[in-house]
Amino acid sequence: MRIDKEQLYQADRKWRLNLVNSLSGIKPANLIGTRSKAGLNNLAIFSSVVHLGSNPAQLGFVLRPQGEVPRHTFENILETGFYTINHIQEEWIRKAHYTSAKLDREESEFERMQIEKEFIEDFHAPFVKESPVKIGMKFNAEIALPNGCSFIVGDVLSVIFPDEALNDLGQLDLVKIEGVGISGLNSYYSLEKLNTFPYVRTHEIPDFK
Amino acid sequence: MRIDKEQLYQADRKWRLNLVNSLSGIKPANLIGTRSKAGLNNLAIFSSVVHLGSNPAQLGFVLRPQGEVPRHTFENILETGFYTINHIQEEWIRKAHYTSAKLDREESEFERMQIEKEFIEDFHAPFVKESPVKIGMKFNAEIALPNGCSFIVGDVLSVIFPDEALNDLGQLDLVKIEGVGISGLNSYYSLEKLNTFPYVRTHEIPDFK
């Protein structure tokens, strides 16, 4: 099937939303944890976390426009400067999915969805206790995108993961941590390791002919 | 294991590169196809394509800093305004991975890695013939990131996919298209559907207690 621009914008809104959300392929499944100055804890699912660089170690994520959705996550990040990124696991995708609910700022998704929070040392924002990979982040920049969204850039301050999930090369095994991916708005996929290929050096390219 | 900022930057460069590239979770596996004004065709693997919005339909990706890597993809996008995003499939991940080689601009990855290109109607940039999901893109903006990378924003002009991979709701089935994900720099994962949950309405939140 071929859909051109005109057909895309004439289509039903929800159909377009689902299709366009599927286009990039599989997406990472993360929960972002924050805590307001007043001590309100917030947790929200994001499928747009993206690697930006390793030196400095930075991750980004996409934030919907102000007004379109409550932005408690971002309000807390702006108030305090800190947030956590926590990998979602197969066993509790349902709970994690429901953190996309529009709760009042006073109500914590940790309580409502029964996801246990964990404070580690003196880090201001709450981590997700069950999460196999927990990342402590510091806000770096909010960058305006042409469509009214923001791209939020943060610096990695700390990383916590199970010893057995990391190999000697520094690679995390997403099967060992029971990691998942998201397609579109609400479909969850499990992962199975296929293969690892070497870093490509120009003089080591195999002959594909 | 807990790694703090100091330990991260004191660690071996390759180890840090692998770890930080793994932190965001599973990443989409796409090939970006471009064609220079002079008619040179380029193909490169990207794991940073991210959904930005559905109205307008926009996708972004992260581009390494100028000078660090050859940026033939971006040179061609700037010259012509057009590019394609093509999903990678399980069967040919090895070929796709090797498009990360630093070839001269004159040499096409389509030829060297034996990946068949396809021109569709009058669209300037080449698509990947084998790819189940092919997206025609128009360059919209280059946005500078704090670490010297660029975030490239583009508008979706057309989408091509197999009829049987799309359901009535507009959702693409990533198993039917044999989609894959990437972890870190070079590990490939296959996908298995777990579940689909409804769009979350506040009055329909299940009781998790």
pLDDT in tens, B33-57: 999 999 999 999 999 999 999 999 9
B166 with A199: Cβ contact below 8 A: no
Residue B148 CA to its chain's centroid (Å): 20
Nearest CB neighbour to B58, from listed A147, A169, A201: A147
Pair B28, B191: CB distance under 8 Å: no
**Cβ neighbours of B206 (radius 10 Å):** 10
- Contact of A30 with chain B, judged by CB distance below 8 Å, is answered with yes
Contact residues on chain A for B106, CB-CB shorter than 8 A: none
Contact residues on chain B for A82, CB-CB shorter than 8 A: none
How far apart are the two ends of chain A, measured CA to CA in Å? 31
Which residues on neighbouring strands pair with residue A50, listed in sequence order? Answer: A60
What per-residue confidence (pLDDT) applies to B206? 92
| Test mutation, B16, B191, B204, chain A, max A CBs within 10 A | B191
What per-residue confidence (pLDDT) applies to A20? 98
**DSSP symbol at A112:** H
What per-residue confidence (pLDDT) applies to A36? 96
φ/ψ region of B76 (left if φ > 0, alpha if ψ in -120 to 50, else beta) reads alpha
Nearest CB neighbour to A58, from listed B101, B147, B208: B147
- ipTM tops 0.85: yes
Residue A159, token pair as written in the block? 């990383």
pTM: 0.97
pLDDT under 50: residue ranges of chain A: none
Residue B60, token pair as written in the block? 């972004």
| Test mutation, A160, A178, A185, A201, chain B, max B CBs within 10 A | A185
pLDDT band, residue B87 (cuts 50/70/90): very high
Quote the CA–CA distance of A127 and B78 in Å, as a whole number: 42
Amino acid at B39: G
Does a cis peptide bond (omega within 30 degrees of 0) precede residue A56? Answer: yes
Does a cis peptide bond (omega within 30 degrees of 0) precede residue B70? Answer: no
Chain A residue with the nearest C-alpha to that of B209: A114
What's the half-sphere exposure (Cβ side, CA atoms, 13 Å) at A20? 28
Give the distance from residue B21's alpha carbon to the nearest chain A alpha carbon, in angstroms.
6
φ, ψ for residue B71 (rounded to 5)?
-120, 55
Residues 6+ away with beta carbon under 8 Å from A7: none
